[in-house]
Every structure is written in C-alpha cells, then in structure tokens.
Amino acid sequence: MNAAAARDYLLALITTLKLTEKEISALESEAAKWENRTELARSGGKDDLLTEAEKETGRIKVKLLKLREEELSLKDNITAVKRRLPGIDARERSIDPDLLEQELLMTLDNLKSITDRAEDKEGFL
C-alpha cells in the first residue's frame, strides 16, 4: 500500500467511525425511549405491551452492542494505520543512488560549462 492509498483508507475508516458513532447515538436515544415505554407498560399493568416493549428494548441493545464492537474495531484500525503511515511515507522517500549520482554528474557538468564560459568572457576583456 502506498502513502496515498493509506491516507484514503484512513479517511474511509474515520468516516465510517463517525457514521457508526451517529448510529450509536440514535440507537441510544431509541433504547431510552423503549425503556420508558417498558416502564409505562409495567406501571399500567399492560402485559402484552410490556412483552413487546421488552423485546424491542432487547433488540436495540443487541444492535448497540454490535455497533460498539464495530466502533472499537474501527478505532483500533485507525490507530494501526496512523502508526504505519510514517513508515509508508519513509519507504516512498527512499533515495535511488544511481539516480542521485546521475543528477550530481549533470549538475557538475552544468557548473563546469558555466565556469568555462565565465573564464572565456574574462579572457576577452
């Protein structure tokens, strides 16, 4: 994986985490609503409504548990990618010694030709 792909992956993980956190928040509100309904059914002696409200509360809590596990997994993956990113960047910045040698030789040739022209001009004065 190159650095650009790693950053894109990191962005996707963070985006998914934020969406998961929003979904958790919404489900927590819904769970509170159903727990309130459970209490109302219990205090009103409505056993059929109580049973349904308890089922719905349980279903929501199971979803919340799965989402919280997903949230932890996403956070772990984000941490792992952030930890590896500097190493990925460093590998991409490695120096090719042959290319560096060629660039240095070209620079020296350019410098030599500039120096030669400057000496030629001085000789004419």
CB 25 within 8 A of CB 17: no
Q: What is the pLDDT of residues 60-88, one digit of tens each?
A: 999 999 999 999 999 999 999 999 998 88
Q: Report the top-level CATH class of 3-94.
A: mainly alpha
> Residue type at 9?
Y
Nearest to 20 by CA among 58, 64, 56: 64
Mean pLDDT (the chain, rounded): 91
Mean pLDDT of 90-112: 85
Mean pLDDT of 2-20: 95
Domain ranges of the chain: 3-94, 96-125
What's the pLDDT score for residue 124?
55
What's the pLDDT score for residue 117?
82
> Residue type at 21?
E
Mean pLDDT of 34-44: 93
